[in-house]
Structure 1
C-alpha cells in the first residue's frame, strides 16, 4: 500500500533530520545491502553447525562404559541442539537472501479464502458425487 502525501513528507523530513544529525550513519544505512547481512548469518550458521558436530562427536568420544554417562550425553545433546539451531538459522537466512521472503509477503497480501468458502466447495463436491450416484452414473 503506497504512502499518502502527508506520510511521504513526514518520512522525507525524518530522513533529512537523520542526514543532518549523523550523515556517516545515514550513508552507511543507505548503502548497506541486505544480502550481505544474510550472507553473514549463513556463514555464522555454518560455523555453528561445525561446532555442533564437534560437540556431538566429542560427547561420543568421551563416553566410557566405566564412567558416568551424564556428561557425554549432555555434550552430545548440546551439540545436536546447536546443529539444529544453526541449520534453521542458515536456512532462514538462505531463504531471505534468495528472495523467498518476498514470495511469502505476496501470499500474505493476497486475500485469503474464508473458511466457509472452502467448506462450501467441499460440500458442493460431496453433493455433486451424491447426485451422480443417485442418477446411476456409478463414479
Structure 2
C-alpha cells in the first residue's frame, strides 16, 4: 500500500533529520543489502554442517552414540537454516524488503479440477 502525501513528507523529514544527526549511521543503513545478511546465514550454516559431519564421524569412530546423534542433529539444523537463507537470497531478500511481490497465478487443485469436470459432464448430459 503506497504512502499518502502527508506520510511521505513525514518520512522524508525524518530521513533528513537522521542524515543531519548521524550521517555515518544513515549511510550504513541505506547501503545495507538484506541479501548480504542471508548469505552470511548460508556461510554459517555451511560451517555448522561441516562441524555436524565431524561430530557424526567422531561419534562413529569413538563408538559414542550420543555424539553421533548430536552431530546428525547439528547437520539437520544447519541444513534447515541454510535452506531458509538460500530461499530468501533467491527471492531477492523479499522477506526483509518492503517491495511488493508479484502474485503468481495459482493453478486449481486436483479436487477443483475433478469438480469442474463433473460439472461439465452433468451440464452436457442435460
Normalising to structure 2: TM-score of the pair?
A: 0.74
Aligned equivalents of 1:97, 1:78: Cα separation in 2: 28
Would you say 1:16 and 2:16 are equivalent positions?
yes
Aligned pair count reads 118
Give the match for residue 106 of structure 1: 102
Aligned equivalents of 2:11, 2:114: Cα separation in 1: 47
Aligned equivalents of 1:22, 1:8: Cα separation in 2: 21
Shift of 1:111: 9.1
Give the match for residue 53 of structure 2: 53
Deviates more, 1:32-41 or 1:53-62: 32-41
Aligned equivalents of 1:99, 1:123: Cα separation in 2: 34
> Considering only aligned residues, what root-mean-square deviation do their CA atoms show, in Å?
3.0
* Structure 1 runs (4+) greater than 4 angstroms displaced: none
SS in 2 for 1:106: coil
Runs of 5+ consecutive residues of structure 1 not aligned to the other structure = 64-71, 113-117
Structure 1 or 2: more helix by fraction: 1
SS in 2 for 1:92: helix
Normalising to structure 1: TM-score of the pair?
A: 0.68
Runs of 5+ consecutive residues of structure 2 not aligned to the other structure = 95-99
Shift of 1:105: 3.7
Aligned equivalents of 2:21, 2:73: Cα separation in 1: 44
Would you say 1:128 and 2:120 are equivalent positions?
yes
